[in-house]
Structure 1
Amino acid sequence: MRPLLRRCAVLITAAALAATGVGAPSPAAADEPFPDFVFQGIITDKASMIYNPTDEYIFPSIFHAGAHLDDPLGEWYLYLAPHDPPAGIMLMYSDSLDGPWTEFPDNPIIATEWEPHYSVSHVSSPDALWHEQTGEVFLYFHGENSETRYATSTDGVHFEYGDIAVDNGMGGPGVTESSYARVFDHPDPDSEYVYGMLYMANYNDDRRRLRYAESFDGIDWDIRPDPVVEPEDGDSGNVSGGNLWQWGDQLYIIYHNSTGNVMARPVDPTLTEVGPSALLHSSSGVGEDVGRTAAPDIVTEGEHTYLFYEAGHRLGATIAYAKAGPGVEFPDGPEPIDWPTDPDNPVFEQCAAPGSDEFDGDTVSADWDRVVRGEDARHQVADGALTIPTYLGGVAAAPLLQQELPEGPWQVTTKLHIEATQRFQQGACCSTAPTAPTASSTWCRRRPGYGWRWSRWSGHRVGRTPSPRQWPAPPMSCSG
């Protein structure tokens, strides 16, 4: 955690109402704490990849080839794919989850045309399952986004086409996408079903949910009528990349949301009782570990637990991994900034460092030493909160309340309560320096039904920035 340093230094740009705060979602109760995943590195070095049609890779799927296959290329297989056309399902392999990973030289192993079965613009989002009933690898993938298909293999490299597993029509009215599936052995020992599937379903309202399907054979699927996970406040309208993960004695549905975080919700073996969400992983903001985290796939081997995920912005992602367990550190040693921590404060419900007194009186403290266009300012301070009204016009017209940035590392932790009354209202916190680009975190009401949501982090994805004089590359903690 990176709590508030004593001096909260930002330039606040307000084109909307920003006032007293709301708390972040409560973390899910668990029998034991989540693993402390520490970024270890990028697996897909784009400059050296043999198959690189679009300079992006998504949706890693780890398969323990050595446990199931005769004479595999390596102990572990990693299936992945680009997303943009032509995409194509790829294979990498390694004798260790820590790598190095070798790219299969004849990728893609599944392409966009497979006569006479299909010809589509792209195939992507592979997920591998050992199919005990047939003694084969079942590989699920989408193409187009309206349908999830499967193929089978005895060696994990050469596949025979199966069929469509799920499609839009099976999901009911209003479904426009049925993709990004993860398949697993059914978690309920009392169920007659043998396999379960979590997949993303998009709808006419352009909000993505997680659906759950069950199967006796991994081929024919029965889809539950209602989503198992709906986007909530803080998800920015979408959830995807759903997967089932057991940690200790507790099952979790893990997934990513549109804010770029990997989340977890406790769930019972029937996948009917789903608990509240908690943050499982976000990028650290150190070195290469910046930006969005998505499509989680978790494997435990011995004392260590590995998280494989897609890292970076949506259409420029790469495959990265993080690791938890004894002796795990960042690749270049401990994090370079020794931020204070508070284990009782995982989502900044309260500041771990002493809070400021900037809003304790009936006017802002002397730290806020200037106001641009102050003659038009209508902000108020009362009850320990700063209230900024909605101003017409953008950053070039609104009064801007400002203070100097301190030297050295700094962080701002605050609570916001935002009342959306008009479409496209925006509010922002900005920092700038003569030698660095402006960094801004912007919230915007996009359209009816969405309320307020995080909109962007200037220059990069949602981000936490280590210094006002560095490019704002890391991801920001933005919950609630």
Structure 2
Amino acid sequence: MEGFHRNRQSHVGRRSVLRATAATAAGITVGASGVLVGAGPALAAGPAGMPTYRYVRDALVGPLRPTGEVIFPCIRGVYDKISGARSRYYLYYAPHENPGGIRVAFADALDGPFTQYEGNPLIDNILPTTTVSHVSSPHVTWDAATRQFFCYFHGENTVTRVARSTDGLHFTDETPILSTRLVPGTSETSYARVFEHALPGRNNKYVMVFMGVRDGRRIFYGWSPNGWDNWRFSPTPLVNPEPDGVTDISGPSLVKRNGTTYVAYHGNDGRMYLTEVGNTFNKETHLGVFHSPIASDQGRVAAPSFGSEDGVAYMFYEAGPRLTARICIARAA
């Protein structure tokens, strides 16, 4: 899972010290790859020792522009990556309905609330080489090798694209990297997240997990040596919905805990699930529900994005029905 970790009391040897602090305090931290890492079951309440997350508040201050609904949060810590940042944390998100638009909001603590950027959208539906009905589902990854942010997003639903930025606000070079023609038999390929994770024999640094529509919505995956180009995609789903008793699954995130790798995602019954796929993506062990909606979620929680601060685990998630959804902050109990 994408995420990061911060400790307000110490800035010396930040990365090594902070990871150790979080692992000790909460049994959970974030590795250099940006994937959520578990060190033990200190907050165990769900499958694989996943914490119990409790609602804190809605993430965003002000009206949800331009369509009154937003989806697919991606939380990023930028304080240790760039100078002159608007805040310590950037929350990327987008409306779902046309025309969409990739947006960002700012806060100096994960508890929020986050203030929406006056310069939104960062990426709109008028792209350098084409105009699409909408762009949505942003996932932003920091690529240390090039010192750039890569933003992955879809538009149309059949095409996933990547853009790059040095400051996390001004993105250029929007480039298609995934489409239905690259995953045989699919009619949609979208809602992608990308993480550092090497697979044996693939000569890769990054993996992508995404939703593909083929006899229901399923989780597929791909891999790349640099996160930008030379992507290849498996024709075989990584996670299928049937063992969870649902027909559709989407919004996947990668989770590393207990020396292995999992995918967290949501089902069309409104709940979030966890499946072990193993470090080599050779497993599909369904472990069941790790998060269910509360009354204010209106029957649906989706698209988790994870981080930790001062040893406390947080989850940002999408809540509510399609076209009326909002983004919420939850904290480990």
Output the TM-score relative to the length of structure 1.
0.58
The match for 1:177 is 188
The match for 1:159 is 171
1:89-132 Cα deviation digits (max 9, x unpaired): 000011111112111001111000023x2200000000000112
Aligned length, in residue pairs: 288
1:277 is displaced (CA, Å) by 2.9
The match for 1:97 is 110
**Is the contact between residue 178 and residue 200 of structure 1 (CA under 8 Å) also seen in structure 2?**
yes
1:400-424 Cα deviation digits (max 9, x unpaired): xxxxxxxxxxxxxxxxxxxxxxxxx
- Equivalent residue for 1:74, pick from 63, 84, 87: 87
User: Whole-Å Cα distance in 2 between the matches of residues 227 and 156 of structure 1?
Assistant: 32
Q: Percent identity between the aligned chains?
A: 37
Indicate whether 1:251 and 2:267 are aligned.
no
The match for 2:50 is 34
The match for 1:63 is 76
The match for 1:306 is 314
1:192 is displaced (CA, Å) by 2.2
SS in 1 for 2:293: coil
- Equivalent residue for 2:205, pick from 170, 177, 194: 194
Q: CA RMSD in A?
A: 1.9
1:269 is displaced (CA, Å) by 1.0
Structure 1 runs of 4+ with >4 Å offset: 187-191
Alignment of 1:395-406 (within 5 A): none
User: Whole-Å Cα distance in 2 between the matches of residues 93 and 29 of structure 1?
Assistant: 32
1:188 is displaced (CA, Å) by 4.2
The match for 1:263 is 273
The answer for unaligned runs of 5 or more in structure 1 is 1-26, 329-480
Distance 1:189 1:307, change over 3 A: farther
1:282-316 Cα deviation digits (max 9, x unpaired): 1233xx34420000111123321111110001221
The answer for unaligned runs of 5 or more in structure 2 is 1-44
Distance 1:120 1:290, change over 3 A: same
User: Whole-Å Cα distance in 2 between the matches of residues 59 and 234 of structure 1?
Assistant: 22
**Is the contact between residue 214 and residue 221 of structure 1 (CA under 8 Å) also seen in structure 2?**
yes
The match for 1:240 is 250
SS in 2 for 1:112: coil
Between structure 1 and structure 2, the one with the greater Rg is: 1
User: Whole-Å Cα distance in 1 between the matches of residues 202 and 278 of structure 2?
Assistant: 13
SS in 1 for 2:187: strand
The match for 1:130 is 142
**Is the contact between residue 245 and residue 298 of structure 1 (CA under 8 Å) also seen in structure 2?**
no
1:252 is displaced (CA, Å) by 1.3
User: Whole-Å Cα distance in 2 between the matches of residues 277 and 171 of structure 1?
Assistant: 26
SS in 1 for 2:168: coil
**Is the contact between residue 213 and residue 223 of structure 1 (CA under 8 Å) also seen in structure 2?**
yes
**Partner letter of residue 318 of structure 2?**
E
SS in 2 for 1:68: coil
Alignment of 1:298-337 (within 5 A): 298-324=306-332, 328=333
**Is the contact between residue 60 and residue 115 of structure 2 (CA under 8 Å) also seen in structure 1?**
no
SS in 2 for 1:66: coil
Distance 1:168 1:43, change over 3 A: same
**Is the contact between residue 234 and residue 259 of structure 1 (CA under 8 Å) also seen in structure 2?**
no
SS in 2 for 1:280: strand
The match for 2:301 is 293
**Is the contact between residue 142 and residue 179 of structure 1 (CA under 8 Å) also seen in structure 2?**
yes
1:268 is displaced (CA, Å) by 1.1
User: Whole-Å Cα distance in 2 between the matches of residues 304 and 187 of structure 1?
Assistant: 27
**Is the contact between residue 39 and residue 289 of structure 1 (CA under 8 Å) also seen in structure 2?**
no
Alignment of 1:394-473 (within 5 A): none
**Is the contact between residue 139 and residue 194 of structure 2 (CA under 8 Å) also seen in structure 1?**
yes
User: Whole-Å Cα distance in 2 between the matches of residues 187 and 254 of structure 1?
Assistant: 19
1:209-261 Cα deviation digits (max 9, x unpaired): 11110001112211012000111155431010011012343321000010001
More strand per residue: 2
SS in 2 for 1:169: helix
